[in-house]
Amino acid sequence: MPPFMKNNNYKVKLRKEIQKLRDSLTVSQREKKSKIIADRFIKTSKYINAKNILIYYPFRSEVDTTIIIERAIEDNKNIVLPKVDNNKLKLFFVDSIPSQLEKGSYNIMEPIETACKEANIKELDLLVVPGVGFDKNFNRLGYGGGFYDRLLSDIKGDVKKIALCFDLQLVAAIPTSEHDLKVDAIITESKEYYSW
């Protein structure tokens, strides 16, 4: 990888470019693509066999994960959502979006601590990881806060990390540094990439 790729300025620039592309999708395009991605995800054996799933609540123009959250609750799976607490993520079981979530850090919907049971990272069977961009080598470009890199470093090796993104979020190469952790699979509206 050329030196400029490792430059933080390049990450910042790439992050802005991908977010601008993602923001350019219309609401109906995003809804349609999100539904296809959600359908692909719930057909995977990893979803079918998982009991405790860490996922994130969608923010701005991200893939609409509420489709998966609602389906998983119907399927009697346990949904775990993160809450920013100082410099790390705390995890909570959620079974009712309207009554257990409120706007929190960065204006993202987060669990209300008094309304939810805290989850232990060791209980998780499957992780759905957010990101601005990804490449076909399973590298992830996050939002720059490092929250998920810190969280993922505590995950057992056999727990799979799946990214859901639109085709336009896939790029030729994501610049990486030693603390950046890869995902194990990427699902878009047109294709699925698995490392296993």
Mean pLDDT for the stretch of residues 62-79: 98
Cβ-count burial 117-150 (b if 16+ within 10 Å, e if not): eebebeebbbbbbbbbbbbeebbbbbeeeebbee
Mean pLDDT for the stretch of residues 86-108: 93
Name the token pair of 73: 């609750």
**What does the alpha-carbon distance between residue 168 and residue 116 come to, in Å, rounded to a whole number?**
35
Domain boundaries, the chain: 3-194
Q: What's the confidence (pLDDT) of residue 19?
A: 97
Query: What's the pTM?
Result: 0.94
> What confidence category does residue 3 fall into, taking pLDDT thresholds of 50, 70 and 90?
low
Q: What's the confidence (pLDDT) of residue 186?
A: 98
Options 3.90.25.10, 3.40.50.10420, 1.50.10.10, 3.40.50.2300; CATH for 3-194 is: 3.40.50.10420
Q: What's the confidence (pLDDT) of residue 7?
A: 63
Mean pLDDT for the stretch of residues 184-196: 97
Residue type, 195: S
Does residue 123 register a pLDDT over 80?
yes
Burial of 161 (0-12, 13-18, 19+ CB in 10 A): buried
Does residue 75 register a pLDDT over 60?
yes
